[in-house]
Copies of this chain bind each other. A is one copy, B any other.
Amino acid sequence: MLKKLEESKLIEILETGISEFSQYGIEKTNINIVAKKAGVSVGVLYKYFKSKDDFFMACLKHSLAVLSNVIGEALQGEQKILARAEKLIRAVQKNAREHENYNAMYHEITSGSFKKHSAVLAKEIESISAKVYAEFLLQAQKEGEIRSDADPRLFAFFFDSLLITLQFSYSCDYYRERFLIYCGEDILDNDEKVVKELLKFLESAFTTSQSEIKHA
C-alpha cells in the first residue's frame, strides 16, 4: 500500500521530468522546478536519482519502455512484409500522438551535450529493432518478397530511418513544421494518406524486381 503510493509518486516524478525535459531540453530543465511541479521536494528527487543526468536517464528509460512495447505489439504474428510495415506505421502514428513527450525524449539524446553517452545509448536502444528489422527483411527476402540483391541490414536501416523521421514528425516541433511544409498544413489530420503513400513508397522497395542499377 505504501509501496503503491511510492511507486505512483515515482512515476509522477518521471512523467514530470519527461514533460520538462522534452519541453526545455536537458540543460535548460531546472531540477528544482521539476520537483515543485511533481509536488515533491528536491530532496526526494535526489533520494531516487543521484544526479540530474541520472534522473534524465531514468526518464529516458521510462519513455523507451513504453515505446518498445509499441514496436513489439506491432510485430506480433504477422506474415506479409507490407502488412507488417503498415502495422508499424500506424503504431508510430498512434504512439507518437499519445506519447509525444516520450518520443521527444528519444530525440533529445541524439543532440546537445549528451554526446558522451551516444555509444552506450545507441547500442541499448537501437540494437533490438536493428536486429528485428534485419531478420524479418532477411526472411522476406528468402520468401521472395524483397529483391534478392538487397542487403537486409541496409534496407532495415532505410526503413527505420523513414519510421523514426515519421515519429519525430508527429512529436517534435521542428520535424512537425517540416512535415507540414513538405506535405501540407492538413497532413496531421490525414493519417490515412500518410499510411497509403508511405506504403506505396515502400511497396516497390519491398517487392521483388528484376531491374538492376548500373553505376559508372
Q: Which A residues lie at the B interface, using CB under 8 A?
A: 23-28, 82, 86, 104, 107-115, 118-119, 121-123, 126-127, 130, 134, 147, 149-151, 153-158, 160-162, 164-166, 168, 172-184, 192-205, 207, 209, 211, 213, 215
Contact = CB atoms under 8 A, between A and B. Distances in A.
Assembly of this chain: how many copies?
4
Given A157-B183, A203-B204, 13 more contacts: A24-B113, A107-B111, A119-B173, A122-B181, A130-B181, A151-B193, A153-B183, A154-B201, A155-B201, A160-B182, A161-B161, A161-B165, A165-B165
A154 B126 contact: no
A76 to B, nearest CB: 17
Contacts of A109: 174
A155 to B, nearest CB: 6
Please classify the interface of chain A as helix (H, G, I), strand (E, B), loop, or mixed, using the class held by over half of its residues.
Answer: helix
Across the A-B interface, the 4 shortest Cβ-Cβ residue pairs: A204-B204, A122-B177, A25-B112, A27-B27
Nearest to A199: B213
Contact of A198 (B154, B176, B200): B154
Nearest to A165: B161
Given A183-B153, A198-B154, A175 B207 contact: no
A175 to B, nearest CB: 6
22 contacts: A26-B27, A28-B112, A104-B111, A110-B111, A111-B172, A111-B174, A119-B177, A122-B181, A134-B182, A149-B200, A151-B183, A151-B193, A153-B184, A154-B197, A155-B201, A158-B197, A158-B198, A161-B166, A162-B162, A165-B165, A200-B213, A204-B204
